[in-house]
Chains A and B, each alone.
Chain A
């Protein structure tokens, strides 16, 4: 796929350079006369891509090595059930006392039982190892701890397991959502270094159209997450797999349709970012979106992507 993309880029650049007429000092930075250097660039770029894919794939396989080959095994061991949680203030005002009565940990593993492990293991009546074993451990603890009555400690020990569950679910997502504007800013910074305001404008317009298109598809992940969470919480393996497979098939179909629409009439989508009464060169936007669409006819896991190219360095071309 990546090599095919490199070939497409190669074709596009060759067409661009064959048709270019008159270059400014700024233009020469981004568009060079065709030569052996471009072949080398594209080859190096393809090598770069392949290396990144290999590194990422290796990382993924290493981090998940224990899971490979195993049957379905949920990774999450979050305690979802919280019982008898409370705190009570100490009457003598020496501090708050935390009393934890019971925690129920449910850990479900599916697979053949290890040899010699007879504790809390369910066997069939004929003594044969079943295909799935459920281990449930119930831990009962009674703990009394007294803390000094400082404001921070008083706040901290008020956090029970339910609060910790909420924090554990929220903070990772906050980290992920915080990264997005940082990446966008970095992208914008490097494009700004080109010294061409059209490039920035083109990237901004392409991002707007992309966000619009992505927003139209954004209901699918939300619905999928809800359905998967319900089935997964019940331990319904088939239901979880079905929900994911169906979501992937539907999103594949929708994104393919969207890609075809973008390829066929990009100007229609660009008209959304035009403001009445303001100057906006739709022709330029049309051209770069055209090149964008032809650069990126593919889609990655159900969303399509744009690569902005300034129109000034492009000409209408026909493939």
Chain B
């Protein structure tokens, strides 16, 4: 067991010596370039910083390497096993926490969906009931309309019959009056008044039922 690091530390792209030894071309314009002493001082500063950082990285790499050696040291295997067990416990806790969150999310989403489905079915049932009620109402209105229509038809027929009867009566009356008038005129010209006074003929009474007029009238 070597336990090599997965990604070993790499050397910095710029070293302190690179910074110290950097040179720059002279400026061509007299008096317009940078102050060389300031540039060199800054270079030195940067080089010192890089050296310190490099040393820190080296020290930390060494610490990591020491820890890795301890891990692979057979004498430490019991501690390594213990570390593995602790890590497993920690992972189980993390998994449990995430699982609880997912279970809660699942419960909420499932309940929401169930509530929606219940509402949907209820709405569908209510819609079906409303349709049935509307259908019943439509059927009842049709029946009622038919009753009214029948009633209306009866009255229309009765009305028409009455009109016919009245028309016939008035026509008969008119005819009779005309005849009576003619007769009266004729009688007024005749001294024979003892033949009888004028008496209007009997007027047929209107029928009270829907019966054709009696055939012997007129």
Co-complex (A, B): no
